[in-house]
Amino acid sequence: KAGVTQTPRYLIKTRGQQVTLSCSPISGHRSVSWYQQTPGQGLQFLFEYFSETQRNKGNFPGRFSGRQFSNSRSEMNVSTLELGDSALYLCASSPAKESRGTGELFFGEGSRLTVL
């Protein structure tokens, strides 16, 4: 069974640009969540999607957005990039059921974004 795939793995952008990151979950998983990891703040929850619906969003500005498609693949977008957005962005999928949102997390390798 293929794992969680994130693309691209590495990217460099300049301030003011926007970026789109992609996450393909494990087949059959309907829950996809995104996380930002920085040396200063550690791991922080960005948002979680279940069956194309965003169930929750972390404490991030509106420049951070995402969506989930009918095949459960998910994208996140960051507009008007700032230097502080440089981070490792991790995606995880989960077999969590709709009636109970908790499930084991399966992480991708991450997309490392550098903003210059």
Partner 1 sequence: KNEVEQSPQNLTAQEGEFITINCSYSVGISALHWLQQHPGGGIVSLFMLSSGKKKHGRLIATINIQEKHSSLHITASHPRDSAVYICAVSPYNFGNEKLTFGTGTRLTIIP
By the rule CB under 8 A, 43 interacts with partner 1: yes
Residue 18 CA to its chain's centroid (Å): 15
The structure tokens 């009636």 sit at 99
- Binders of partner 1 in range 86-105 (CB under 8 A): 88, 90, 92, 94, 96, 100-105
Tell me whether residue 48 or residue 85 sits nearer to partner 1 (CB atom).
48
* Residue 1 burial by Cβ neighbours in a 10 Å radius (0-12, 13-18, 19+): exposed
Q: Does the protein bind partner 1 through residue 1 (CB under 8 A)?
A: no
**Is 31 near partner 1 (CB under 8 A)?**
yes
Binding piece for partner 1, criterion CB under 8 A, among 13-21, 30-38, 60-68, 71-79? 30-38
Q: Which residue has the tokens 């293929």?
A: 2
Amino acid at 116: L
Phi, psi of 62 (to 5 degrees): -65, -10
Are 115 and 13 in contact by the 8 Å Cβ rule? The answer is yes
Q: How far is the CB of 109 from partner 1 (least distance, A)?
A: 5
Q: State the residues that interact with partner 1 by CB under 8 A.
A: 31, 33, 37, 42-45, 48, 50, 55-56, 88, 90, 92, 94, 96, 100-107, 109-110, 112
